[in-house]
A = this chain, B = another copy of it.
Amino acid sequence: MSVMRNDIMFLRSALTMQNPFNSTEQVLDWIREQNRKILVNVRQISFKEMVPMWQFDAEGNLRHASGKFFSIEGIRVKTNYGGVPQWEQPIINQPEIGYLGIITKEIEGVLYFLLQAKVEPGNVNNVQLSPTLQATKSNYSQVHKGNKPLYLEYFQNAKPEQILLDQLQSEQGARFLRKRNRNIIIRVEDEIPVYDNFIWVTLGQIKALASMDNIVNMDTRTVISGIPLHTIADMELPKRRAWGYDLLHDDCPYHTTIEILSWMTSLKCKYELNVMPIPLKEVEHWGTTDMAIEHEDGRFFKIIAAQVEINNREVKTWCQPLVAPAQLGLTAFVIKKINGTYHFLVQGKVESGNFDTLEMAPTVQCITDNYTGKNNQPFVEYVLNAKEEQIRVDTLQSEEGGRFYQEQNRNLIIEADDSFPVDNLPENYIWVSFQQLMLFLQFNNYLNIQSRSLISLIRMI
């Protein structure tokens, strides 16, 4: 029972594409069908039109009338990391820890995941596959007087032996102030109701669907990224497996775990990050107009007000702020086989909203601004000029559509060629094996959300 047993179930599900209930084609059809049944209208409005539900307080911060949900506030950042020693910016402050929960069930030896076709106002394509439960405390303490979220009670009442994974993980450190979610996977034994827009899929199917653009939402990706996958002796394997399965062989990590922890400790001691809340109206180089909170040069992102109308069987309307990016983002891991074991080139990256100064980020994490010659972050050229045969993953993935308006990042995993250096990297970079990443993923605030998204995309089959 317990650890070993769960490991087997997870790996077997990651290696299973055959789903007698819903083939992957059927899942895609079903998503299209969900999209057909729904009409989503998101219209940018002025901030005035959001009053009284959302309004600016005396400090210029944008808040919900209940004091719950989230607010847009200002921060002043001082750091000795990177080229800019001080700046001010708006940030999303959402001090609540939300649930991102997936229910699983073993059926005939295979673990199935209950996902939801969920519409979010910021989605580029209306419906994406989200966790069974995606709820902030304000949601489930019913501030908005809506119904209790479906399946909430399964998570609230789960017994310890039902819990397969339960971690606090970070959101985007450049956008959220120290926000974390509870990433949780539970297993049920008994029959449970499957509501209209829910579906059972294997982990292998989720990863296959995530190899397409904008099908699997960020919340699902972060939850499944934490699933520990290891090789398991004597387990019968499908003949054809994907490249990702090779990552599981991990006989010879280039650095010991103690070395990696020491690398992180030394960076945390070296870099100071001082974040001070300030009134949004005092944030330098940013201004608030009727229609947007935006940077004077139109850079980074802006905050807009949105009127959302969703027509399903019933009509729901509400208004809320959304964060709209200025550009497409790029996140990329360079991986390389060293001494027979695959390694990920991890970056220690300081971001203003980080809970603990820095987290492990992908080799490259930037917005397009950063790679159009305006600065020279390491390895950007390398990943953008990778040859076809080096590309292991290349998809567009959405940020969470409940907060971000049509924000997409290009997610790349690039296998380094022989010319790529093993040693003499910049100080902030280190090679970490896949099993070492799996270990760090079990603990809070080691891998940032961009690196977790990339890890979730790795297919075993």
0/1 string, A212-236, CB within 8 A of B gives 1: 0000000000000000000000000
In contact, A259 and B444 (Cβ under 8 angstroms) = no
Report the nearest B residue to A99, measured CB to CB: B269
Q: Are A268 and B168 in contact (CB under 8 A)?
A: yes
A239 to chain B, nearest CB (A): 32
Q: Which of B3, B97, B167 contacts A256 (CB 8 A)?
A: B3
Whether, in the assembled complex, A262 has its beta carbon less than 8 Å from a beta carbon of chain B, the answer is: yes
Contact B167 A261 (CB under 8 A): yes
Stretch at the interface among A79-87, A108-116, A157-165, A365-373: A157-165
Expressed in whole angstroms, the minimum distance between the Cβ of A323 and any Cβ of chain B is: 25
Q: Chain copies in the assembly?
A: 2
B166 to A258, Cβ gap below 8 A? yes
Question: Which residues of the partner chain B approach A6 to less than 8 Å between Cβ atoms?
Answer: 258
Q: Is the CB of B166 within 8 A of A262?
A: yes
Q: How far is the CA of A95 from the CA of B164 in the complex (A)?
A: 37
Cβ distance A204 to chain B, nearest Cβ, rounded Å: 22
A66 within 8 A of B: no
Q: In the assembled complex, how far is the CB of residue A273 from the closest CB belonging to chain B, in whole angstroms? A: 10
Q: Are B182 and A258 in contact (CB under 8 A)?
A: no
Q: Does A356 contact B (CB under 8 A)?
A: yes
Give the total of A residues in contact with B, Cβ under 8 Å.
33
Q: Enumerate chain B residues within 8 angstroms of A355, measured Cβ to Cβ.
A: 356
Q: Report if A94 contacts B (CB, 8 A).
A: no
- In the assembled complex, which residues on chain B have CB atoms less than 8 Å from the CB atom of A442? 257-258, 261
Residues of chain B with a CB closer than 8 A to A268's CB: 97, 168
- Distance, CA A161 to CA B3, complexed state (A): 32
Does A266 touch B at the CB level, under 8 Å? yes
CB interface residues, A 151-178, toward B, < 8 Å: 160-161, 163-168
Cβ contact within 8 Å between B163 and A262: yes
Can you add 10 more A-B contacts, CB < 8 Å, to A95-B274, A163-B262, A165-B258? Answer: A2-B256, A3-B257, A6-B258, A97-B268, A160-B259, A160-B263, A164-B258, A168-B269, A184-B262, A184-B265
Residues of A within 8 A of B (CB): 2-3, 6, 95, 97, 160-161, 163-168, 182, 184, 255-259, 261-263, 265-266, 268-269, 274, 355-356, 442-444
Show 18 A/B contacts (Cβ-Cβ < 8 Å), sorted by A: A2-B258, A3-B256, A6-B258, A95-B274, A97-B268, A97-B269, A160-B262, A160-B263, A161-B259, A163-B258, A163-B262, A165-B258, A166-B261, A167-B265, A184-B262, A258-B442, A261-B443, A355-B356
Q: Which 4 A-B pairs have the closest CB atoms?
A: A166-B262, A166-B265, A163-B262, A160-B259
